[in-house]
Amino acid sequence: MLEPVELNNIMIAVIAGAMVVLLGALYAFTFAMGKMNKKRWLIGVSYTVFAGLAISVFTLAQSLNLNGYWQLVTYTMLLGYLLAPQAIWKLSVGTHRASD
């Protein structure tokens, strides 16, 4: 059964949601810059940023009382955030190799 969200959790959800967007973009950016410039330390930074993203996602889910089926949606979203920049990188490299 769905429980209403407490008023003080609304602000937590807003901040956590903003952090999801910002950290998701920062993860993709640092991952791409690390790959493009062959800087392993930036790849490490990107995974550290992803850890912050995961914390933000779980905070958002908890503050909005997302339980049951919604937990599966949360985990799937995190997996997508983790794998999408890597897949896009491989696609970009493959596309540019094919055009050479």
Give the total number of structural domains in the chain. 1
* Residue 2 within any structural domain of the chain: no
pLDDT of residue 100: 61
What gap in Å lies between CA 65 and CA 69, rounded to an integer?
12
* Residue 1 within any structural domain of the chain: no
User: What pTM does this model have?
Assistant: 0.85
* Residue 47 within any structural domain of the chain: yes
pLDDT of residue 14: 95
pLDDT of residue 8: 83
pLDDT of residue 5: 73
Per-10-residue mean pLDDT, the chain, length 100: 75 95 96 95 97 96 90 93 92 80
pLDDT of residue 99: 67
Between CA 43 and CA 39, with CA 84 as vertex, the angle to 5 degrees is 15
Give the domain range for residue 26.
7-98
